[in-house]
């Protein structure tokens, strides 16, 4: 994108308060704003092109058995009507199925704990949606209601084609969403606006209430829309994955503790609940490792068992957003997160071969798992992120 004047901006509206306030701030800034609601997934993928529902950009209400597409779309349309801006919808159900959902299923069958949001942002929200907005709507930039900032400013007012744009954490540490945008490229960021990146959630709700927006106090929580209730995630996966029985063994001794119907029901660090194939015990067992080759769930005793704490893990070298942390050597010191809700901790990076990095945290990390995103930071700059390939060492082994 050149340094031409930005006049027309598409704003992704989800029916949530964050994107609503983002759209308002854009209009207040003087842009010609068009609200665009993205239909990306459906309530039951077995009826993949029959019924569709929306995944919220910024707010996903858990506790519903189906995705409230009709309510979210009507809320988004109402926001645009209230703000007197154009409203349209675009359907990416097929693309979401092919690029995101099948990827999620494949990884869960291999015992990997994946973060589909990162891939969805990179491929669907910041690629396909951008492409549609630029080609079909004739916009100059695209905005979302994410809590992140860039060095080019909330409205690209500081853009400079001679410098790289850096992705920065949102001002509100409780809402910062840089973890989920760690896969964005320079070309994607250079045409993206994040109007609420410097605001707190309280600020956003206050603005929405001042505007008398109906979504001002709409409940929110983090989650994946097509899952429905989080506690039913295993049941959700069972609709698409065949049973693959295996054993649950005690790590270290190999003692058989019970049996299971598929390793996709388990996540490293989680409590193994008793059931018909796993007898009740006075001890609490937790998932220490998942072996898809032998279809074995390795269990440990106690929530703080040494096997749950990683002291080194391996990742692919990320496609660095702006700059690589490596200077003249194959070693660097940065901060990292393996989960969005965790604070960033210091670690030592080493390039052990081309395209492969070793991550050694200063302090052991509980429940790090293959498939999780390891997102790297230097101060408040998000450098990039990559999936954990394997846990190399724990306090136990």
Catalytic residue numbers, as ranges: 120, 225
Of the chain, the end-to-end C-alpha distance in Å amounts to: 50
57, 19 Cβ separation under 8 angstroms: yes
> Where is 382: in which H helix or E strand?
strand 381-394
- The rounded distance, in Å, linking the Cα atoms of 368 and 313 is 8
DSSP-derived 3-state class of residue 289: strand
> Where is 138: in which H helix or E strand?
none
Helix ranges (H only) for 112-167 are 116-120, 129-136
Quick one: which of 190, 44, 33, 54 has its CA closest to 124? 54
Both tokens assigned to 355: 């395209």
- The rounded distance, in Å, linking the Cα atoms of 265 and 249 is 15
- The rounded distance, in Å, linking the Cα atoms of 16 and 140 is 24
């Amino acid at each position: 994108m050149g340094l031409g004047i930005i006049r027309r901006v598409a704003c992704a509206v989800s029916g949530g308060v964050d994107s609503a306030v983002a759209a308002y701030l854009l209009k207040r800034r003087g842009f010609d704003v068009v609200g665009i609601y993205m239909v990306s997934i459906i309530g039951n993928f077995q009826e993949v092109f029959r019924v569709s529902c929306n995944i919220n950009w910024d707010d996903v209400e858990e506790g519903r058995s189906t995705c409230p597409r009709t309510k979210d779309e009507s809320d988004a349309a109402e926001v645009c009507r209230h703000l007197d801006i154009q409203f349209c919808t675009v359907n990416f159900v097929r693309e979401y199925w092919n690029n995101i959902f099948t990827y999620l299923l494949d990884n869960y069958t291999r015992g990997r704990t994946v973060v589909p949001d990162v891939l969805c942002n990179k491929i669907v929200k910041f690629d396909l949606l951008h492409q549609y907005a630029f080609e079909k709507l004739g916009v100059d930039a695209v905005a979302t209601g994410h809590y992140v900032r860039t060095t080019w400013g909330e409205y690209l007012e500081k853009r400079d084609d001679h410098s790289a744009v850096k992705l920065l954490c949102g001002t509100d540490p409780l809402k910062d969403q840089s973890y989920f945008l760690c896969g964005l490229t320079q070309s994607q960021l250079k045409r993206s606006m994040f109007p609420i990146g410097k605001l707190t959630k309280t600020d956003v709700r206050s603005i929405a209430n001042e505007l008398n927006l109906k979504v001002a106090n709409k409940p929110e929580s983090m989650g994946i829309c097509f899952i429905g209730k989080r506690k039913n995630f295993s049941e959700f996966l069972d609709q698409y994955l065949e049973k693959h029985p295996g054993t649950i063994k005690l790590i270290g001794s190999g003692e058989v503790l019970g049996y299971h119907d598929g390793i996709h029901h388990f996540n490293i660090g989680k409590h193994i609940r008793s059931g018909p194939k796993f007898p009740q015990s006075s001890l609490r067992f937790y998932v220490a490792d998942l072996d898809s080759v032998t279809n074995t769930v390795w269990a440990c005793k106690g929530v703080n068992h040494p096997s749950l704490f990683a002291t080194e893990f391996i990742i692919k070298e990320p496609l660095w957003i702006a700059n690589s942390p490596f200077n003249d050597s194959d070693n660097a010191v940065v901060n990292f997160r393996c989960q969005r809700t965790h604070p960033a901790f210091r670690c030592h990076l080493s390039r052990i071969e081309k395209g492969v990095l070793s991550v050694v945290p200063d302090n052991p990390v509980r429940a790090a798992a293959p498939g999780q995103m390891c997102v790297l930071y230097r101060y408040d700059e998000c450098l990039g992120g990559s999936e954990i390939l394997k846990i190399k060492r724990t306090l136990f082994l």
